[in-house]
Amino acid sequence: MIKIKHIKIIAPILAAVIIVVVIIVATSGVRERSEKEKAVDAVSQIGILNVGLRADLGSLCTFNTETGEYEGLEKDVIDEVIYRMFGDDMIVTYVQVNSKTKDALIKTGELDIALGASIVTETSLIKYTSPFFTDGSAFLVKQGAMSSQKGLHGKTIAIVQGSYVAREAGDDVTKLEEYLATFGITADLKIYASYPEAMSALGGGHVEAICANETYLKLFGKKGMLILPERFLPQEYCVETRSSLATFSSAMSDVIEEMKSDGTMDALIDVWDLVDYYTLEES
């Protein structure tokens, strides 16, 4: 009988606790939406967004000298995001950037938003949205040299300084070395300052392969070269904003997720004949 009394006492308490938790969660969600709405309204009041875009990324983004317009997946994505948030009530100024100036102009506040195969990095001065596209890493070799990554054992592979595959994975090994080790492949890595230099090394026979994201390999690859079939080390591309727009960045993430859910993102990716490797695992 004592146990029954305890149950009778505890049950209402548990019910009350559950109700309180539900209220707190619901209130938190409303508060978060309110903060995002305020952030969007603040940007709307300014009425202008300075957006950095690269002109050297092929189907991701390029500049059409005939039309004087930027073209590519990243241009279409940011246009759609801005339209869904502000309709036609926003002036957008596009600024040409490169891999170095993109982040620098965001940090100084000269740009509000920037795109350009942007991957999350550890910095407090830049905020990143949810990824809108996932690129896959791959190997570029001379045609006829090999048909799969197994042929890379004992060979020399070129990687570019600062690239994703060259990042440290821990224990003084790069992400690429860690990946190769899972397949029992041992190779020498040679670091180059730029993709053109790495391509020249492959063409001149100084290395047997180049490892980079598929976008860059297609962009810089030359006749007589072949991209091997394996895809690995996914690279998620995001929209960058300056740190003072952190809540606005979160609101943009909501729009990006909405575009993924309603099929818009897939449609834009198809327009530019790109492959989204979002199902790839890190290793």
Each residue of 237-279: pLDDT tens digit? 999 999 999 999 999 999 999 999 999 999 999 999 999 999 8
Q: Which two tokens stand for residue 172?
A: 């003084």
Residue 19: the pLDDT is 56
CB burial of residue 108 (10 Å; 0-12, 13-18, 19+)? exposed
Closest CA to 102 of 79, 125, 84: 125
Q: Tens digits of per-residue pLDDT, 42-89?
A: 999 999 999 999 999 999 999 999 999 999 999 999 999 999 999 999
- Beta-carbon contacts of 129 under 8 Å, excluding residues fewer than 6 positions away, are 238, 239, 241, 249, 250, 252, 253, 256
Task: With beta carbons less than 8 A apart as the criterion, state whether 255 and 130 touch.
Answer: no
Average model confidence (pLDDT) for the chain?
Answer: 91
Q: How many other CB atoms sit within 10 Å of the CB of residue 183?
A: 13
Q: Is the pLDDT of residue 36 over 50?
A: yes
Whether the Cβ atoms of residue 128 and residue 274 lie closer than 8 Å to each other: no
DSSP 3-state assignment of 264?
helix
H or E element that contains 113? strand 113-114
**In which residue are the tokens 């909405």 written?**
258
